[in-house]
Structure 1
Amino acid sequence: MASTTDTKNYKFNHSMLRVKDPKESVKFYSFLGMSLLKKLEFPDAKFDLYFLGFDSPKAVSAGNNLWDREGLIELTHNYGTENDPEYKINNGNVEPHRGFGHTCVSVDNLQAACARLEEAGYKFQKKLTDGRMRHIAFVLDPDGYWVELIGQKPVEETEGVTTTDLETYRMNHTMLRVKDAEKSLAFYRDLLGMTLFRTHEAPAAAFNLYFLGYPGASAAPGAGVGPPAEREGLLELTWNYGTEKDEAFSYHNGNAEPQGFGHICVSVDNLEAACARLEGLNVAWKKRLTDGRMKNVAFVLDPDGYWVELVQNERFTGKANF
């Protein structure tokens, strides 16, 4: 393996969420069409990790090794929380602990997908018919995390169609609120090598949305990289105007109490070289490779203090990380 690193090989691998009861959470995401790809157990440390993603023959990353994918969800279960009546997750959307906003799944038929979830008894933060925005919905997972649902086609084209094909679903994006858009864009573009695919400006509502991701292997023909809604593994940054001017303003990173969202993860071609490159760019570290017992993961901090995990893509080494 070469001793260099190229951000063109990087992938936005997963988003980590802490959960109270893994059985209920896995059931929910499986109902959304995801497969449990791997479970990592750490009984000595009293936690388990569940990695879920879309893995049908129609999925973008179908059949790839765990770290050679984009758009995964990592569920972290700390033993005993399922039996603790006082334990509650911070979903990132309640003051004063806002920060992480939601994950998003794009679907072939938005109306039918929403009807299926509603019939199964899952609650919604926002139904299609709520408010003025009739082209998005938010379903709640068992811990109250928001999962946005968007259509891969305009809702007008799927009106009256009652079927939905789970094999066409994509884990489209993860949304984080950021204080200073320019600082965050510089971090994700210049340091982590992401591309800014789309900007949505909403001056009347005083916010902008920025969608970033890695072109990489998913740019291959037929890999579902047409319109943004057909992609997987995007990062949405939400900037509310004026926050950058308030020195006292900050977002909750999900890892301070009360906890919830944990981190996003980027898989790289050469972990040691990637970390050395970032060291040279003076990033802020939460955990270097040499820190602690786990020598195969590192964590850098983005401008808002969100944790970004770095892990080796096994395709470049031919050996397992865990």
Structure 2
Amino acid sequence: MISASIRRTTGILNHLSTRSYPTDTTAKMTDLSKYKLNHSMLRVKDPKASVAFYEHLGMKLLSKIPFPDNKFDLYFLAYDGPKAVSHGKHRSDREGVIELTHNYGTESDPNYKPHNGNKDPKGFGHICISVDNIQAACKRISDAGYRFQKRLEDGRMRSIAFALDPDDYWVEIIGQNPVEKTEGVQETDLGTYTMNHTMMRVKDKDASLKFYQDVMGMKLMRTSENASAEFNLYFLGYGDVPAEGKTAGKEGLLELTWNYGTEKQEGKVYHNGNDEPQGFGHICVSVDNLNAACERFEQQGVNWKKRLTDGRMKTVAFVLDPDDYWVEIVQNEGA
């Protein structure tokens, strides 16, 4: 049984539902083409400050789900304007959602600080938003008083920036248009933004790519090889593969970062965010048929953190990827 402490820190109660799911999986098999990389969960210290930050980036608070008995609240944010990819959809029928988990009392605890994954022990790296005009978008963030890990003008890479949210999680900013075409343009349209991807470092690229493609049903959208710097990036997701690897306009991608040679190291290399120190919690995949999907995962021989049958919560499961990152599995209520 999943302990109360794990429930408080992972937010597994967020998908509590009165809906019943089919138990006869032969009646409706699961269709991997209908899966969605629904959300990424981050623990936060002060929800007011964090929600305000992500709303400044143009996101909308889709729902707040309080669990006072368990002393935590969940906040789901996503892009939802008329131009948004998933405008008006149920939160489980989307990609590119951010789930913020707030455990009561952290906002007044001077010793509490979520682990951002970029300080040792490393693991989770960042989330990323894509914008229409990167220069104007970064200026707007800076003018509001928010901090940066890397500004556009820093270093050699002049086409990406990293803002810092109130808990020092890195938020990568990329442009949907080439920087030379937006130079000098003063306006940015928040309605065109997308929550593009979530980045995690992986030990063994082959093991991770096999898991996310063969087991989770994702497609490899783009590969960026950086031999001189000894790392590769792999972008995976659901849906159509974009022409010419142009992924900036998509939402809900997973970026796997592989540093050369880590596969040869003994034992675990990266931190999953749920062992101490805690910060990033999980990614979540919503599926068309929860029972059928979990039956398929069982047949695939996955490592489980929580099966559907474990504990009291029968509407959520957690699978472990090769690096022990948690992958939450929930029913797509819009499927």
State the TM-score, normalized to the length of structure 1.
0.94
Give the letter for the 1:273 counterpart: A
Q: Is the aligned partner of 1:18 residue 2:43?
A: yes
Separation (CA, whole Å) in 2 of partners of 1:53 and 1:248:
36
**After TM superposition, what 4+ stretches of structure 1 lie above 6 angstroms from structure 2?**
none
Q: Is the aligned partner of 1:209 residue 2:209?
A: no
Give the letter for the 1:233 counterpart: G
8 Å contact kept, 1:225–1:231: no
- SS of 2:224's equivalent? strand
* Deviation at residue 248 of structure 1 after TM alignment: 3.5
Aligned residues: 310
Separation (CA, whole Å) in 2 of partners of 1:46 and 1:138:
32
8 Å contact kept, 1:243–1:249: no
8 Å contact kept, 1:106–1:151: yes
Unmatched 5+ residue regions in structure 2? 1-21
Which position in structure 1 is the counterpart of 2:305? 286
Give the letter for the 1:190 counterpart: D
Q: Give percent identity, aligned residues only.
A: 69
Which position in structure 2 is the counterpart of 1:151? 175
RMSD of aligned C-alpha atoms?
1.5
Alignment of 1:37-186 (within 5 A): 37-95=62-120, 97-186=121-210
Give the letter for the 1:46 counterpart: K
Separation (CA, whole Å) in 2 of partners of 1:70 and 1:49:
17
- Of the three residues 201, 221, 239, the one matched with 1:197 is 221
Cα distance change of structure 1 residues 289 and 20 upon mapping to structure 2, 3 Å threshold? same
* Deviation at residue 250 of structure 1 after TM alignment: 1.4
Alignment of 1:178-257 (within 5 A): 178-215=202-239, 227-257=246-276
Which position in structure 2 is the counterpart of 1:319? none
8 Å contact kept, 1:13–1:68: yes
- SS of 1:258's equivalent? coil
State the TM-score, normalized to the length of structure 2.
0.90
* Deviation at residue 247 of structure 1 after TM alignment: 1.0
After the TM superposition, which of the residue ranges 43-52 and 225-234 deviates more from structure 2?
225-234
Unmatched 5+ residue regions in structure 1? 317-322
* Deviation at residue 226 of structure 1 after TM alignment: 8.4
Which position in structure 2 is the counterpart of 1:261? 280
* Deviation at residue 249 of structure 1 after TM alignment: 4.5
* Deviation at residue 227 of structure 1 after TM alignment: 2.5
* Deviation at residue 292 of structure 1 after TM alignment: 1.4
